[in-house]
Amino acid sequence: MPPVSAAHPPMVGLLDRRLLFVTGKGGVGKTTVAAGLALYAAEHGRRTLVCEVDAKGDVADYFETGPTNFTAREVFPSLWAMSMDTEASLREYLKLSLRVPVVGRIGPLAKAFDFVATAAPGVREILTVGKFCYEVREHHYDLVVVDASATGHIVGQLAAPQAINDLVKVGLIRSQTDWILDILSDAQITGLVIVTTPEEMPVNETIELAGRVATETSVELAAVIVNRVLPELFGRSEEKVFNELCRSPVSAELEKLVGDDPTPVLDAARLAVTLRRTRAEHLERLRHGIDPAVPMMYLPFLFTRLHGLRTLRQVARSLGEELAH
C-alpha cells in the first residue's frame, strides 16, 4: 500500500470534523465506506449518526437491521441510522420553526410540497442539507456521516444554500441559509469525502469533482478514499520468476511435482497481475490530479462473501489503519 506523503500542511483530522458528506460515482462502494466510517467512529466512542440520502436501504442491510426512516434509530452501540425523506424534513422544519399545525393537512401539503420542490430546484436539496446542519448545530451527535448523492448530484446539493440565497430574496428559507452556509463552509466542522476505485471513469469523475467542489461550493474536500485496491502479487524480480514458472521447462517440472496441470492457477495469477497493473496506472493518475494536501486513503479489495456486518467490520478496520497513518 502506498505510503501517505508526510509533507502536508496540517488539515483537520477526518473524524475530528462533525459533518462528513460521503460521495462517489455509482458502484464504487460509497455506502460501504460511509457505513464503515460511521462504525469506526462509533466503536471509538463517538455518538454517530449515519444517514442515507438516496434511500435504497443499503445502510440498514450493513447493520443487519430493518429498514430505516426519517426518525434516527440506534442500530449499534453509539450509532444511529436514518434515511432522508425531504417531506418529513419539511414537516419537522415547519413544526420546529413555524409552529404550523400541519398534522391535519399532510395530504395536500405533501402534494403542494412535491410541486414547489419540482418547480424550485434547491428546495429538496436544502431540506436535506439543512437537516444535517441542524443535527450538527444542536449537538445531537458527535459526528454525522452522510451517505450523500452520487458525484453527478453532490455539487448541486452542497451548493443549494447558495443557489437559494440567489433565487429567494426573502422568506424563512432565505433566513435559514445563512447559518447553514456557516456550518458548511467551516472546515473545522464539515468535510467532503470522495470515494473512488482505481478505474478509469471513477478516477476521471473524482478529479473533475474535486475541481468543482473547490470552485462551486464552500465545503472542503477532507479526503479521497480509494476503495477496492487490489493486492500486489509480486515485485519486479519475482515477476520474472513467475514468467519462468509459466513456461517450459519449469512449468513441466511444476506439473510433475504437483501431479496436475497448473495452467488455471497460473492464468488466474496472470489475470490478477494485469488487473493490478491497469489499476495502478489509474491510481497514479489520481494522485497527480488531486491536491497533495488532501489525504488519500486506500482500502483493499475484499475477497469475501456478500456484504453485511462482517464486511463492514473489515472496512472499518482498514479505515482505522489508514486513519492511524
Partner 1 sequence: MAKRGSPAPVARRTSLDGLLASKEIVVACGPGGVGKTTTAAAAAAMAAARLGGKVLVLTVDPARRLADALGLEGIGNTERRVPDATFVEAGVKPMGELWAAMLDTKESWDSLIRLHAPDARTREEILSNPLYRNISGRFVQSHDYIAMERLFEIHSDGNYDLIVVDTPPTRNALDFLDAPERMAEFFSSRLLRWLIVPYRSRLVNLASKPFYQIADRILGTQFLEDVAQFFILFQSMYDGFVERARAVHRLMADRRTSFIVVSTLEAVPLREAEFFAQALADRRLHLGAIVLNKVLPDYLRDPQGAALAVKLRDRADELAEALAPEVRSGDASQVRRVLAEVGRSYLDYRVVAQREAEQQAELATVPEALVSVPYFETDVYDLAGLLRLGAQLWGP
For the segment 212-251, give every residue that binds partner 1 (CB under 8 A): 231, 233-234, 237-238, 240-245, 249-250
Nearer to partner 1 by C-beta: 74 or 253? Answer: 253
Nearer to partner 1 by C-beta: 48 or 151? Answer: 151
Torsion sign, CA atoms 171, 172, 173, 176:
positive
Torsion sign, CA atoms 112, 152, 189, 85:
positive
Q: Shortest gap between Cβ of 141 and partner 1 (angstroms)?
A: 25
- 247-306 residues in contact with partner 1 (CB under 8 A) are 249-250, 253-254, 257-258, 260-269, 271-272, 274-275, 278, 303-306
Q: Shortest gap between Cβ of 93 and partner 1 (angstroms)?
A: 8
Q: Which three cell numbers stand for residue 3?
A: 505510503
Q: Shortest gap between Cβ of 132 and partner 1 (angstroms)?
A: 18
Residue pair 93/128 in contact (Cβ under 8 Å)? The answer is no
User: What does DSSP assign to residue 306?
Assistant: S
Torsion of CA 217, 222, 227, 232, to 10 degrees: 130
Among 122, 130, 161, 295, binds partner 1 (CB under 8 A): 122
Helix (H) or strand (E) segment spanning residue 228: strand 221-229
The binding track of 128-157 with respect to partner 1, each residue x by CB under 8 A or -, is ---------------------xx-xx--x-
- 33-62 residues in contact with partner 1 (CB under 8 A) are 54, 56, 58
Segment lying near partner 1 (by CB under 8 A), choices 8-16, 104-112, 219-227, 316-324? 104-112
Nearer to partner 1 by C-beta: 7 or 119? Answer: 119
- 161-190 residues in contact with partner 1 (CB under 8 A) are 163, 167-174
Binding flag, residue 108, partner 1 (CB under 8 A): yes
Residue pair 22/206 in contact (Cβ under 8 Å)? The answer is no
Q: Shortest gap between Cβ of 319 and partner 1 (angstroms)?
A: 19
Q: Binders of partner 1: how many residues, by CB under 8 A?
A: 81
Q: Helix or strand or coil: residue 125? A: helix
- 80-99 residues in contact with partner 1 (CB under 8 A) are 94, 98
Q: Which three cell numbers stand for residue 169?
A: 430574496
Nearer to partner 1 by C-beta: 149 or 190? Answer: 149
Q: Do the bridges between strand 221-229 and strand 296-300 make them parallel or antiparallel, or are there none, so unpaired?
A: parallel
Binding flag, residue 198, partner 1 (CB under 8 A): no
Q: Which three cell numbers stand for residue 235?
A: 515485485
Q: 142: which residues sit within 8 A by CB, 6+ positions away? A: 18, 41, 46, 47, 48
Q: Which three cell numbers stand for residue 274?
A: 494485469
Binding flag, residue 120, partner 1 (CB under 8 A): yes
Q: Using the CB atoms, write b or e for 173-187: b if 16+ within 10 Å.
A: beebbeebbebbebe
Among 4, 96, 106, 116, binds partner 1 (CB under 8 A): 116
Q: Which of 4, 1, 41, 3 is nearest to 19 (CA)?
A: 41
